[in-house]
Structure 1
Amino acid sequence: MAVVAVFELPGMTQDMYQQITNKLSDGRGAKSPSDWPVAGLLSHTTATTPDGLLIVDVWESEQALQQFGQIVAPLHQEVGAPTPTPKIYPVFNLVTA
């Protein structure tokens, strides 16, 4: 079952985000789901907030999200970004272009 993962990351900057996505994608910046190191990403959106970043992902399964988390969490530590702890919700409707 697909899941939505909502990451609220106070203190995280756009520069930290770009460093992480470059590390995930061998410098390509992770512009496509195929750039992610784990299969199963359906959508990824990042927005700035008054105190950091908000990231909303949709994954094919919670297992795929957990696999990604094992890869991305150490990268957050490496660049000094907050530890990602998502709120996870089951998807009941997903509309894509």
Structure 2
Amino acid sequence: MAIIVTFEFPDAGQELYDAVIDRVTDGQGFTQFADLPNPGLISHAAGPVDGGFRVTEVWESMEALETHAKTFGPILTDLGHADVQPTIIPAHNVVVR
């Protein structure tokens, strides 16, 4: 079952996001899903919000997210954001273009 994942990074901005993406993709950037080392991502959006930065993703399954978290989690820890806990909800409907 697909899941919707939202990360809130209070007091962080695009610099943190760019640093995470740089490490996750080994400096190649993220412009297509094939850029990520782990499969299962359906959609990804990120942007500034009052007081921080938000990332919202749709994953094919919790297992796919957990696999990606093995790459993503240590990077957040290294960058001083180990305490960020995502909000995860089951997706009732996912529409992609």
Does the pair score TM above 0.5? Answer: yes
Residue 64 of structure 1: how far off its partner (Å): 0.6
Partner of 2:56: 56
Structure 1 pair 56–22 and aligned structure 2 pair: CA distance change class (3 A): same
Moved more, 2-11 or 29-38: 29-38
SS at match of 2:8: strand
- Alignment identity in percent? 31
Give the unaligned 5+ runs of structure 1. Answer: none
Equivalent position of 1:35 in the other structure: 35
Give TM-score, length-normalised by structure 1: 0.90
Structure 2: which 5+ runs fail to align?
A: none
| TM-score, with structure 2 as normaliser | 0.90
The RMSD of aligned alpha carbons is 1.3
Instruction: After superposing the two structures, state which structure 1 stretch, 75-84 or 42-51, moved more.
Output: 75-84
SS of the residue corresponding to residue 29 of structure 2 reads coil
Residue 82 of structure 1 and its aligned partner are, at CA, apart by 5.4
- Encode CA deviations 1:22-66: one digit per residue, 9 max, x unaligned: 111121222211111210000000010111111100000001111
The amino acid that maps onto 2:69 is: G
Q: What is the deviation of 1:81?
A: 3.5
Matched residue SS, 1:28: coil
Structure 1 runs of 4+ off > 4 angstroms?
none
The number of residue pairs the alignment matches comes to 97
| 1:25 equivalent in structure 2 | 25
